[in-house]
Structure 1
Amino acid sequence: MPADTPSPLAAAVSTRRSYSRVTADAPSRAELMPLVALAAQVADHGALRPWRLIELRGEARERLGEALAAASGHTGMDRARLVAKPLRAELLIAVVACRRDSAKVADWEQDVAAAGVGHALSLLLDDAGWGVMWRTGPHTRSAAVREMHDLSATEELLGWLYVGGIPDDARPAPRPPLAPEDFLTAL
């Protein structure tokens, strides 16, 4: 391949954008499964597969909103805003690090593998034409949100991928290029 022609992977990475607003369209479970299988191919020291994904649709999004509001302690309009946040997309995918007992692989390495799955899935969804944004917030690891996701003591919620259709008027502007020499150093 000529050097001036980007690979399909390079093109997918360079054009990926986060969409803070999406339409009510969302991939079906059948459309999602092959993308999850591909995302599972990320680097995973020890082949522990220390992650899982939780699909939230319909009423599950409402329960998440209630858990976020409970965690915040807010009332009135502030509470209502938190309750509505998970309703901004028809599909949310919780990315969960599932720490396994391992003398060889530290918890942080397992968390990185789980984050890699989330990032790979966001790239794959974007490449498939879906709008995606990885969201977190101050209540992501609260007791109420942990309980709502039925997390075990060895699991940590890393956030949610909000997934939906891309509105015609919501195409983000291209990112300004960065200077790679500012981020790659040598010893």
Structure 2
Amino acid sequence: MTSAPHTTPSSQQSALQLLMSRQSRWPLTEPAPSQAELDQVLDLALRAPDHGQLQPWRFVVVRGEARQALGEVFVQAAKARDPHGDPQGDAERFRHKAMAAPLLIAMGAHLRPGHKVPQSEQLLAVGAAAMNLLNGLHLLGYGGFWATGLNSHDARVKTALGFAATDALIGFLYIGTPKEAAPHVERPARQRFVREWAPDASLLNAGQTETL
């Protein structure tokens, strides 16, 4: 295996070890990434696999006072979903969620119905971009938390954020600096999830025959 440009085996191992320590972090506080750092991780997101080069990624950055407006959007959406609910209960809980980190990214997928690339693969491209975002944030020393829930499936929220009708809102990425040290998380043994395929002998023999 050859080393990537401008890297050494030791630096590669250091990067891998750092990525191995990534986990969802909560709660999050200031500081958030600088604009330059945010630009870096967004550029990293755009390097995700993209079948058909459809570029379905759509990111809406929410920070500062805009979070308060997003909180009001969450409240109005919650009230519309449950007009007879407790206005000081569930709806206000969503308002606080908008302020739970110094920076949020609403992650959307610009879907193309009827395209030869299935919509499931278009969604996967955005999921891969989200993972690139999380990894990039972690490498820069920030924490990230990918949240979905009712607001991710609410057309009112999607419209308020400026997404198109055919777009899918796949969640909100909460970003900031972790308030606490990362707890130890026991990772599952890879053997539970990985196996090597042992093809039937007839398939191997068929392949040999075709190459003669």
Same fold (TM over 0.5): yes
Amino acid corresponding to residue 130 of structure 2 in structure 1: G
| 2:185 corresponds to which of 152, 162, 175 | 175
**Local SS of the residue matching 1:132:** strand
| 2:150 corresponds to which of 114, 138, 155 | 138
**Local SS of the residue matching 2:29:** coil
Partner of 2:126: 114
Asked whether 1:157 is paired with 2:169, we answer yes
Q: Spell out, residue by residue over 1:68-111, the C-alpha distance to the aligned partner (whole angstroms, 9 max, x if none).
A: 22222241133222111110111001111111356331111000
**Local SS of the residue matching 1:34:** helix
> CA, structure 1 residues 143+102, in 2 after alignment: closer, same or farther (shift >3 Å)?
closer
Partner of 1:66: 72
Partner of 2:102: 90
> CA, structure 1 residues 123+5, in 2 after alignment: closer, same or farther (shift >3 Å)?
closer
Q: CA deviation at 1:9?
A: 4.3
Please give the alpha-carbon distance, in whole angstroms, between the structure 2 residues aligned to 1:54 and 1:131: 18
- The answer to whether the 8 A contact 2:73-2:157 is kept is yes
**Local SS of the residue matching 2:131:** helix
Please give the alpha-carbon distance, in whole angstroms, between the structure 2 residues aligned to 1:140 and 1:50: 17
| 1:47 corresponds to which of 53, 77, 94 | 53
Q: CA deviation at 1:125?
A: 0.5
- Asked which structure has the greater CA Rg, the reply is 2
Please give the alpha-carbon distance, in whole angstroms, between the structure 1 residues aligned to 2:88 and 2:187: 43
Q: CA deviation at 1:28?
A: 2.2
Amino acid corresponding to residue 147 of structure 1 in structure 2: T
TM-score by length of 2: 0.78
> CA, structure 1 residues 47+8, in 2 after alignment: closer, same or farther (shift >3 Å)?
farther
**Local SS of the residue matching 1:163:** strand
- The answer to whether the 8 A contact 2:26-2:178 is kept is no
**Local SS of the residue matching 2:89:** helix
Please give the alpha-carbon distance, in whole angstroms, between the structure 2 residues aligned to 1:42 and 1:5: 22
Please give the alpha-carbon distance, in whole angstroms, between the structure 2 residues aligned to 1:160 and 1:101: 23
TM-score by length of 1: 0.88
Which deviates more, 16-25 or 73-82? 73-82
Please tell me the root mean square deviation across aligned C-alpha atoms, in Å: 2.3
> CA, structure 1 residues 5+122, in 2 after alignment: closer, same or farther (shift >3 Å)?
closer
Please give the alpha-carbon distance, in whole angstroms, between the structure 2 residues aligned to 1:148 and 1:58: 17
Partner of 2:201: none
Q: Report runs of 4+ in structure 1 exceeding 4 Å deviation.
A: 3-6
**Local SS of the residue matching 1:97:** strand
Q: Spell out, residue by residue over 1:27-50, the C-alpha distance to the aligned partner (whole angstroms, 9 max, x if none).
A: 122221122112211111111111
